[in-house]
């Protein structure tokens, strides 16, 4: 007996949403995609354009919609609605604009697809994921943000090029806020099973300079792309596609997604930020606790404090209105 066809919903048919739909088609990750936008013509234009590729690939349904009901029975729903940051603008500046949109989208999704796994992509992704968790009645393991998966991918790619090693053999995580306070957990970084510091041949530079350059690169890469083309889409869309694949195929892969921090991190139990988790059919199947040195714990606390402040500022914003 054939199992139920896999269905993915995408809320927001902008640059990121359309790119996610295209990547799902190219990589043949699921059987059906619903591309939803409040502006139907936008969803139609993107879906019809992508649809032209389907006869050249494999059979798949891609339907544009502006009706939430069409998202019923989705296995996974990706949220990419809302404003993107202006050139050089901190992602947290988007919070006021996007928080209300996310609350209303989650309420609709709870109504039509209460059992679907939700992946938040809209920025600021960590705070919006916290809002989604607090708004939704679905279990917490069914909501995650794309977190620092993209930042970790960017770092691994650059390190791999410089060290002349396959990125598959680079073990390192960027954690914390998807934004300016994110940081690299160097203390556990390794190339194969060799600690990074022992693998490096530094030449002219020092270990501190090497690390500093990569932290800057990782934090700035999104801005560098947006400054030149106005938005980012291919990297994040591929990240989302990998997360969807891990869920649909129960892969139990580790990704640094936006989740409520495990108590063992000692940064409070409410803050949501990018931390390594096992992702499978049940969504967040296990939150992992990454060893950190004192400096890294300080960075994690700084990131958590920044995100808590941003979340709390929303309450003040509402009181002022």
Ligand X SMILES: NC(=O)c1ccc[n+]([C@@H]2O[C@H](COP(=O)([O-])OP(=O)(O)OC[C@H]3O[C@@H](n4cnc5c(N)ncnc54)[C@H](O)[C@@H]3O)[C@@H](O)[C@H]2O)c1
**By CB under 6 A, residue 42 contacts ligand X:** yes
Q: Is residue 283 a contact point for ligand X (CB under 6 A)?
A: no
29 binds ligand X (CB under 6 A): no
The answer to whether the Cα torsion of 275, 278, 283, 287 is positive or negative is negative
- For the stretch 154-161, contacts whose Cβ atoms lie closer than 8 Å and that sit 24 or more positions apart, written own/partner, are 154/217, 154/218, 154/221, 154/235, 155/184, 155/214, 155/217, 155/218, 158/214, 158/217, 159/214
Q: Is 274 in the site for ligand X (CB under 6 A)?
A: no
Looking at beta carbons only, is 42 or 130 nearer to ligand X? 42
Size of the site for ligand X (CB under 6 A): 29
Q: Which residue from 44, 129, 146, 181 is in contact with ligand X, where contact means CB under 6 A?
A: 146
Residue 143 binds to ligand X (criterion: CB under 6 A): no
Q: Please identify which residue in the block is written with the tokens 């490096």.
A: 200
| Helices 95-112 and 125-135, axial angle in degrees (round to 10) | 40
Among 9, 14, 176, 283, binds ligand X (CB under 6 A): 14
Angle between helices 15-27 and 234-248 (to 10 degrees): 50
* Smallest distance from ligand X to CB 233, Å: 6
The reply to whether 154 sits near ligand X by the rule CB under 6 A is no
3-state secondary structure of 250: coil
Q: How far apart are CA 18 and CA 233, in angstroms?
A: 9
Is 189 one of the binding residues for ligand X (CB under 6 A)? no
Helices 95-112 and 294-320 cross at an angle (nearest 10°) of 90
DSSP string, 33-59: EEEE-SSHHHHHHHHHHHHTTGGGS--
Cα–Cα distance measured from residue 243 to residue 15, given in angstroms and rounded to the nearest whole number: 18
Structure tokens at 284: 């967040």
Binding to ligand X by residue 80, rule CB under 6 A?
Answer: yes
C-alpha angle 127/129/131, rounded to 5°? 70
Report the residue from 101, 189, 304, 310 that binds ligand X according to the rule CB under 6 A.
101
Q: Is 174 in the site for ligand X (CB under 6 A)?
A: no
At residue 249's C-alpha, the angle toward residues 146 and 26, to 5°, is: 70
Residue among 123 and 299 whose Cβ is closer to ligand X? 123
Can you tell me which of 92, 113, 236, 273 binds ligand X, judged by CB under 6 A? 236
Q: Which residue is nearest to ligand X (CB)?
A: 14
Measured from the CB of residue 268, what is the shortest distance to ligand X in angstroms?
Answer: 22
Which CB atom, from 18 or from 191, has the smaller least distance to ligand X? 18
Query: Among residues 44 and 146, whose Cβ is nearest to ligand X?
Result: 146
Catalytic residues: 178
Q: Which listed residue (9, 64, 82, 179) binds ligand X by CB under 6 A?
A: 82
CB of residue 12 to ligand X, shortest distance in Å: 4
Tokens of 226: 């947006």
Residue with tokens 């930042």: 151
34 binds ligand X (CB under 6 A): no
Secondary structure (3-state) at 30: coil
Among 60, 84, 175, 304, binds ligand X (CB under 6 A): 84
**Chain residues that interact with ligand X, rule: CB under 6 A:** 11-17, 37-39, 42, 80-82, 84-85, 94, 98, 101, 121-123, 125, 146, 150, 178, 231-232, 236
């Amino acid at each position: 007996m054939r199992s139920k066809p896999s269905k993915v919903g995408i809320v927001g048919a902008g640059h990121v949403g359309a790119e996610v739909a295209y990547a799902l088609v190219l990589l043949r990750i699921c059987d059906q995609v619903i591309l939803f936008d409040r502006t139907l013509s936008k969803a139609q234009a993107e879906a019809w354009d992508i649809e032209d590729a389907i006869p050249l690939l494999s059979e798949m349904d891609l339907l544009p919609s502006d009706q939430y009901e069409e998202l019923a029975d989705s296995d996974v729903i990706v949220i990419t609605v809302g404003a993107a940051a202006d050139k050089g603008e901190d992602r947290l500046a988007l919070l006021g604009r996007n928080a209300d949109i996310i609350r209303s989208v989650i309420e609709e999704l709870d109504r039509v697809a209460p059992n679907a796994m939700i992946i938040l992509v809209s920025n600021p992704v960590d705070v919006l994921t916290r809002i989604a968790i607090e708004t939704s009645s679905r279990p917490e393991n069914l909501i995650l943000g794309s977190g620092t998966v993209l930042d970790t991918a960017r770092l691994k790619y650059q390190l791999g090029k410089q060290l002349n090693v396959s990125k598959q053999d680079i073990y390192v995580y960027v954690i914390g806020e998807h934004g300016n306070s994110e940081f690299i957990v160097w203390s556990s970084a390794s190339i194969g099973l060799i600690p990074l510091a022992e693998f490096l041949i530094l030449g002219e530079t020092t270990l501190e300079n090497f690390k500093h350059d990569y932290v800057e690169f990782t934090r700035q890469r999104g801005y560098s792309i947006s400054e030149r083309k106005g938005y980012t889409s291919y990297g994040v869309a591929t990240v989302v596609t990998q997360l969807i694949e891990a869920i649909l195929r129960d892969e139990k892969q580790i990704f640094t997604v936006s989740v409520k921090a495990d108590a063992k991190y000692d940064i409070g139990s409410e803050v949501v930020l990018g931390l390594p988790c096992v992702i499978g059919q049940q969504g967040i199947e296990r939150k992992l606790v990454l060893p950190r040195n004192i400096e890294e714990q300080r960075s994690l606390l700084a990131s958590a404090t920044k995100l808590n402040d941003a979340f709390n500022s929303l309450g003040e914003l509402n009181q002022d209105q």
